[in-house]
């Protein structure tokens, strides 16, 4: 997407670029097997019909290359350099992360694997300047107070000043920031031009979609950090302008336990980044650079931290919650709860419980036994670790969950988790239990334990 690269004019504007000296590392080195092959026959030579079939795999830059090419102007870069050189990450080519056996780390299906998507970000080609103008129009029409709600809390009192700075940063990609960033700005003018990645279409067919959230954007000046966090749905992050370096980790139990701890011990200081405390413990991390004009497919419950190498506008397509994610949302609910608490998101508990009840029901009524087995197994973890905590301050009770199980499993004749069938269970005497189906009784005996 050349039309989205920062125009030379902007890069060489009269604003002094005292600092941010990020150089894009020579990203693509053809593998040696290919290097020696003439790709085009010399003029006059006969075209050879038979040629070895070549797969053009582009090598990612080494961790050392990435580290050496970081800017040097802000303390954040030397901290990031240390992470890159720690030997705890693998540099990957985000177009093609097959070399790291992503199925083992991220999941079997294509949609489980984070990577660059091939789609153009907008239906029509827009220059960086046009994008910035559209963003500015949207922000101005909302007013600075509205922008203020999307700022990191430390900056909210200075909303108009910070908002104007941030938008001017966006037009001057190499000016470093002092930590101020805007989150989830609604940009309807850009959203209307957004080209929804084709992946969403295939998702519609691959899985039952449970929820969909709307587009928004984060505007980060150079040096801005989205600290270690996770998302709970599938989504695409489109870098309409700028450059980002991603650290991403697979959604393993071990990684999510570390993430939860990080949420629970998070301080409010904005430069107290959790990634720098956790990178030694997190496992199987990958690192890659996202160029302007490209979308990253982000998968649920993958801890990630994103560093802004060049001031950026990042748009988020709709978040998707799928039936197949329900086991994860149960298993890792304590991580969601820890995140909510760490950002002081008060209220909304009832909506969250309602949503989970709705999603649970949607899965129970399907014929998908494998999904139901995973859901029941994750339910045990949820029941032990998170149910009580989730219901604190909510009008809902644990029995509401039991109710959902009871109402939607009357037809179950086998337990998908224990592989137990009706015949193997001793019949009970009491009238209360007689009124219940076999599975309801089994569920109460084996899987409830409230």
Residue (166 or 376) nearer to Zn ion, CB: 376
The contacts of residue 233 (CB under 8 Å, 6+ apart) are 211, 213, 300, 319, 320, 321, 322, 325
Q: Which residue in 183, 188, 134 sits closest to 163, CA to CA?
A: 183
Task: Tell me if 415 contacts Zn ion by CB under 5 A.
Answer: yes
Pick between residue 349 and residue 417 the one whose CB is nearest to Zn ion: 417
Q: What is the rounded CA–CA span in Å between residue 259 and residue 217?
A: 24
CA quadruple 105, 110, 116, 117: dihedral, nearest 10: -170
**Interface characters, 54-73, with Zn ion (x: CB under 5 A):** --------------------
Nearer to Zn ion, 69 or 372 (CB): 372
Task: Tell me how far CA of residue 165 lies from CA of 131, 139, 146, in angstroms.
Answer: 16, 12, 15
Closer Cβ to Zn ion, 142 or 436, answer by number: 436
Instruction: Provide, rounded to whole angstroms, the least separation between the CB of residue 260 and Zn ion.
Output: 27
Q: Residues with Cβ < 8 Å from 447, sequence gap 6 or more? A: 376, 379, 380, 383, 417
Output the smallest distance, CB 447 to Zn ion, in A: 6
Interface characters, 295-314, with Zn ion (x: CB under 5 A) = --------------------
Q: Which is nearer to Zn ion, 90 or 373 (CB)?
A: 373
Instruction: Between 395 and 418, name the residue whose CB sits nearer to Zn ion.
Output: 418
CA within 13 Å, CB half, 171 = 16
Q: Phi/psi class of residue 242: alpha, beta or left (left: φ > 0; alpha: ψ in -120 to 50)?
A: left
241/417 with CB nearer Zn ion: 417
Stretch that binds Zn ion, among 64-72, 76-84, 101-109, 439-447 (CB under 5 A): 439-447
User: Is 417 among the residues that bind Zn ion (CB under 5 A)?
Assistant: yes
Neighbours of 417 (CB within 10 A): 18
418 binds Zn ion (CB under 5 A): yes
Give me the least distance between CB of 63 and Zn ion, in Å please. 46
Residues 181-220 interacting with Zn ion (rule: CB under 5 A): none
Nearer to Zn ion, 82 or 384 (CB): 384
Count, residues near Zn ion per rule CB under 5 A: 4
Contact 389, 336 (CB under 8 A): no
The stretch among 174-182, 292-300, 314-322, 411-419 that binds Zn ion (CB under 5 A) is 411-419
Cβ nearer to Zn ion, comparing 312 with 417: 417
Nearest by Cα to 273 from 30, 18, 42, 76: 76
Residue 409 binds to Zn ion (criterion: CB under 5 A): no
Shortest Å distance, C-beta 373 to Zn ion: 9
Which residue stretch of 51-59, 233-241, 311-319, 413-421 sits at the interface with Zn ion (rule: CB under 5 A)? Answer: 413-421
105-110: long-range contacts (C-beta < 8 A, 24 or more apart)?
105/250, 105/252, 105/284, 106/250, 106/251, 106/299, 106/302, 107/251, 107/299, 109/206
Query: Rule CB under 5 A: is residue 84 a binding residue for Zn ion?
Result: no
Q: Which stretch binds Zn ion (CB under 5 A): 41-49, 189-197, 252-260, 417-425?
A: 417-425
Q: How far is the CB of 446 from Zn ion (least distance, A)?
A: 5
Give exposure, 233-247, as e/b (b: 16+ Cβ within 10 Å).
bbbbbbbbbbbbbbb
Q: Does 378 bind Zn ion (CB under 5 A)?
A: no
Task: List the beta bridge partners of residue 219.
Answer: 182, 313
Interface residues toward Zn ion, by CB under 5 A = 415, 417-418, 446
């Amino acid at each position: 997407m050349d039309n989205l690269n920062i125009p030379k004019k902007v890069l060489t504007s009269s604003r002094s670029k005292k600092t941010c000296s990020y150089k894009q590392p020579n990203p693509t080195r053809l593998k040696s097997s290919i290097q020696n092959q003439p790709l085009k026959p010399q003029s006059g030579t006969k075209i050879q019909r038979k040629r070895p079939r070549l797969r053009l795999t582009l090598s990612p830059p080494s961790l050392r290359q990435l580290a050496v090419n970081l800017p040097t102007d802000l303390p954040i870069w030397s901290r990031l350099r240390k992470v890159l050189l720690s030997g705890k990450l693998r540099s990957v080519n985000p177009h093609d992360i097959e070399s790291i056996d992503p199925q083992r780390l991220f999941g079997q299906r294509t949609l489980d694997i984070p990577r660059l998507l091939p789609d153009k970000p907008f239906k029509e080609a827009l220059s960086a300047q046009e994008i910035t103008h559209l963003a500015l129009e949207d922000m101005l029409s909302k007013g600075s107070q509205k922008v203020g709600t999307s700022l990191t809390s430390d900056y909210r009192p200075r909303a108009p000043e910070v908002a104007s700075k941030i938008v001017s940063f966006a037009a001057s990609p190499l000016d470093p920031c002092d930590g101020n960033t805007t989150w989830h700005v609604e940009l309807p003018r850009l959203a209307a031009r957004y080209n929804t990645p084709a992946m969403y279409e295939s998702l519609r067919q691959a899985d039952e979609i449970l929820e969909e959230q709307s587009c928004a954007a984060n505007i980060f000046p150079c040096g801005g950090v989205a600290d270690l966090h996770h998302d709970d749905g599938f989504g695409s992050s489109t870098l309409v302008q700028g450059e980002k370096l991603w650290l991403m980790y697979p959604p393993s139990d071990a990684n999510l336990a570390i993430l939860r701890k990080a949420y629970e011990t998070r301080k409010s200081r904005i430069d107290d980044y959790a990634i720098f405390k956790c990178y030694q413990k997190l496992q199987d991390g990958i690192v890659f650079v996202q160029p302007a004009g490209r979308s990253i497919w982000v998968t649920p419950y993958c801890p990630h931290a994103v560093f802004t190498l060049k001031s950026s506008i990042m748009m988020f397509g709709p978040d998707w919650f799928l039936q197949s994610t329900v086991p994860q949302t149960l298993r890792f609910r304590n991580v969601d709860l820890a995140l909510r608490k760490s950002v002081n998101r008060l209220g909304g508990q009832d909506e969250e419980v309602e949503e989970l009840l709705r999603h649970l029901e949607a899965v129970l009524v399907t014929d998908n036994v494998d999904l139901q087995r995973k859901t029941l197994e994750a339910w045990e973890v949820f029941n032990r670790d998170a149910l009580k905590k989730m219901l604190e301050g909510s009008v809902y009770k644990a029995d509401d969950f039991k109710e959902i199980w009871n109402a939607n499993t009357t037809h179950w004749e086998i337990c998908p988790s224990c592989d137990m069938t009706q015949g193997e269970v001793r019949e009970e005497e009491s009238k209360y239990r007689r009124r219940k189906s076999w599975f309801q009784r089994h569920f109460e005996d084996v899987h409830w334990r409230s």
